[in-house]
């Protein structure tokens, strides 16, 4: 998504202790989170938001205002707003956008929200671009319909949006791990993950290679 509510007083009351660099890092981390709608990976995030020379400040802010999970750092308040936005788009009712923007000022203390506004006047009357949902992404090549439908159900159960960008990222990580996309999706479902990274199965691949070497030696 490309915009979200910004409550100045609430933001200031929870970020007054930050330095100028830390405040900039927090705003850029939020922009990155809302734009990509996926957990933030600690690896290389400072470079991705244009602050490679301030990596320590970026990681400090990430640890304070985001929650670390197996899939990366998340922001529960931001996730709630993203979900509300998706519901607004899907509903397609007149006036839904206005109601969504007038959210209450109450925020969880640990997760104040900021945004780069105002929205340009030229785009105010434009309808939001349609956002892909879990059911609108075509079955990828090499993946059976049964596995694909099971993966869609799994993502929905975890309240995780499924987009072509998400699948493309999983494809890249599967290739790095030397796995097929279908096997990767199966393993992701079994482990209860909503995403996949080659590093998560690095030890598993190493064990398999060691076993293969032992077998060849025995022969």
Of 2-11, 20-29, 155-164, 206-215, which range is least confident?
Answer: 206-215
User: Residue 54: its pLDDT value, please?
Assistant: 94
Which carries the bigger pLDDT value, residue 125 or residue 89?
A: 89
Distances (CA, A) of 118 to 4, 105, 131, 139, 152: 10, 18, 22, 38, 36
Position 53 scores a pLDDT of 93
Question: Whole-angstrom Cα distance, residue 188 to residue 190?
Answer: 6
Local confidence band at 195 (pLDDT 50, 70, 90 cut-offs): confident
Considering 65-79, 99-113, 133-147, the range whose residues carry the highest mean pLDDT is: 65-79
Query: Which range scores top for mean pLDDT: 126-140, 163-177, 205-219?
Result: 163-177
* pLDDT of the residue at 96: 58
Task: Using the predicted structure, report yes or no on whether residue 2 has a pLDDT greater than 80.
Answer: no
Virtual torsion, Cα 48, 53, 57, 59, nearest 10 deg? 40
Average pLDDT score over residue span 111-126: 51
Q: How far is CA 2 from the centre of its chain?
A: 14
Q: Where are the domains of the chain?
A: 8-123, 145-218
Arithmetic mean of pLDDT, 113-141: 56
Residue 131 has pLDDT above 90, yes or no: no
Residues forming a β-bridge with 72:
69
pLDDT at 108: 44
């Amino acid at each position: 998504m490309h915009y979200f509510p910004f409550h100045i007083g609430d933001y200031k009351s929870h970020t007054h202790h930050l330095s100028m660099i830390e405040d900039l890092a927090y705003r850029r981390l939020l922009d990155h989170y809302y734009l990509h709608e996926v957990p933030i990976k600690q690896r290389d995030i400072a470079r991705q938001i244009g602050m490679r020379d301030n990596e320590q400040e970026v990681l400090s802010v990430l640890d304070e205002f985001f929650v670390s999970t197996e899939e990366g750092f998340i922001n529960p308040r931001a996730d709630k707003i993203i979900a509300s936005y998706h519901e607004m788009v899907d509903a397609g009712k007149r006036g839904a956008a206005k109601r969504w923007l007038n959210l209450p000022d109450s925020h969880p203390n640990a997760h104040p929200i900021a945004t780069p506004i105002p929205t340009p006047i030229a785009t105010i009357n434009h309808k939001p671009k349609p956002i892909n949902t879990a059911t609108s992404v075509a079955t990828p090549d090499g993946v059976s319909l049964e596995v694909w439908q099971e993966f869609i159900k799994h993502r929905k159960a975890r309240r995780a949006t499924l987009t072509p960008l998400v699948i493309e990222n999983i494809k890249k990580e599967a290739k790095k791990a030397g796995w097929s996309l279908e096997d990767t999706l199966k393993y992701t479902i079994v482990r209860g993950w909503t995403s996949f990274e080659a590093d998560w199965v690095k030890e598993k691949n190493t064990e398999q290679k060691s076993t293969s070497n032992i077998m060849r030696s025995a022969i």
